[in-house]
């Protein structure tokens, strides 16, 4: 371990993982575990903003862990843990909140979007989502945070809070972390409903889950939004069509994509064929995940072991930071 670069990221347990989570985040996690000191967690504190029942919470946490493992995360290489197993994170969150201001929190795009979508549940946890995220990241003194494009602003907030702590108390204590993607640019995987990103809460049929069976998957893709087709050669693709091509880019072979691109450009494309091809390539891509998910789902003891082992490793690092932070702030150290 020693001097390896520290990497932290997490995913909320709000349902099965979809292709957006995979290409925006997990694909990078799997690569980074080979070379860096990685902490990947399940953001179960964060999921409380939407008030899940205890039963759903437990089920979803377990499912995300299973899908982490199915996607290739290795508990021997990366520390895999539940956010709520580190109360140190909650303590750091409290400290960071003392220097987080209403105005800046209210300006966060994801906050504004969620406040608009769920006007009857604009709770303090939703408002302070970015300080909890900052606590997750800096509790391990991370340098890199692999996330999708939608998390960019939250990462900017993390950088602000880390800097603010440093300026107030102790210059250079927290490293200033960067959002990260291997392909250099952060990724945004579109959904199937014609606009915006793939997401768990974007409505039925918008997301393709790693665990979707082939029949469901094909049905979703065949229902994806399109239009009546190009009418002029080399016409710019409208968003819904561009989205299908973007999805193809992550699951299909380059020569297949070029073929469809050419057919679009000379107006001979049939969207039914495009969708059939996309669906088949997605079925092939997701097949190994589905197999591993069902294998791991039967192994309750192993999942528990991974959780316990991860909690222990993660707490070691978190306790070290929180002790130092308490001392820096002027509190007594725990140990």
- Binding region for ligand TYM (CB under 6 A): 8-12, 20-21, 23-25, 43, 46, 133, 136-137, 145, 147-148, 150-151, 154, 187-189, 197-199
Q: What is the DSSP string of 84-122?
A: GG-HHHHHHHHHHHTT--HHHHHT-HHHHHHHHH-GGG-
Min dist CB 244 to ligand TYM, Å, is 14
Strand partners, 7: 38, 144
43: region left, alpha or beta (phi > 0 left; psi from -120 to 50 alpha): beta
Min dist CB 117 to ligand TYM, Å, is 14
User: Three-class SS of residue 162?
Assistant: helix
Min dist CB 199 to ligand TYM, Å, is 6
Q: Which residue is nearest to ligand TYM (CB)?
A: 24
What residues act catalytically? 114, 197, 200
Choose between 118 and 259: whose C-beta lies nearer to ligand TYM.
118
- Cα separation, 83 vs 57, whole angstroms: 13
Phi, psi of 144 (to 5 degrees): -130, 145
Choose between 22 and 264: whose C-beta lies nearer to ligand TYM.
22
Choose between 81 and 269: whose C-beta lies nearer to ligand TYM.
81
Choose between 85 and 136: whose C-beta lies nearer to ligand TYM.
136
- Cα separation, 55 vs 160, whole angstroms: 36
Min dist CB 25 to ligand TYM, Å, is 4
């Amino acid at each position: 371990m020693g001097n390896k670069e520290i990497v932290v990221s997490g995913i909320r347990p709000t349902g099965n993982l979809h292709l957006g989570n995979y290409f925006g985040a997990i694909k990078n996690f799997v690569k980074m575990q080979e070379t860096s000191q990685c902490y990947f967690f399940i953001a179960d504190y964060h999921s409380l903003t939407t008030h899940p029942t205890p039963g759903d919470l437990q089920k979803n946490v377990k499912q995300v862990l299973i899908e982490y493992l199915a996607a290739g995360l290795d508990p021997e290489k990366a520390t895999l843990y539940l956010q709520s197993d580190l109360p140190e994170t909650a303590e750091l969150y409290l400290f960071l909140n003392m220097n987080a201001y209403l105005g800046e929190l209210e300006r966060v795009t994801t906050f504004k979007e969620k406040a608009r979508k769920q006007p009857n549940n604009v709770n303090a946890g939703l408002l302070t989502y970015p300080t909890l995220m900052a606590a997750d990241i800096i509790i391990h003194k991370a340098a890199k945070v692999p996330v999708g494009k939608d998390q960019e602003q939250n990462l900017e907030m993390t950088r602000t809070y880390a800097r603010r702590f440093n300026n107030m108390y102790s210059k250079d204590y927290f490293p200033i972390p960067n959002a990260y993607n291997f392909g250099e640019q952060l990724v945004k995987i579109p959904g199937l409903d014609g606009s915006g990103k793939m997401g768990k809460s974007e409505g039925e049929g918008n997301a393709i889950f790693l665990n979707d069976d082939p029949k469901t998957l094909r049905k979703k893709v065949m229902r994806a939004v399109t239009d009546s087709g190009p009418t002029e050669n080399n016409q710019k693709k409208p968003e819904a069509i561009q989205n299908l091509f973007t999805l193809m880019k992550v699951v299909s072979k380059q020569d297949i994509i070029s073929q469809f691109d050419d057919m679009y450009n000379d107006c001979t494309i049939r969207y039914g064929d495009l969708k059939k091809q996309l669906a088949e390539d997605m079925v092939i891509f997701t097949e190994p995940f589905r197999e591993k998910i069902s294998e791991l789902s039967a192994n309750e003891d192993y999942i528990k072991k991974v959780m316990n082992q991860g909690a222990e490793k993660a707490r070691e690092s978190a306790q070290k930071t929180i002790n130092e932070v308490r001392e820096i702030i002027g509190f007594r150290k725990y140990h």
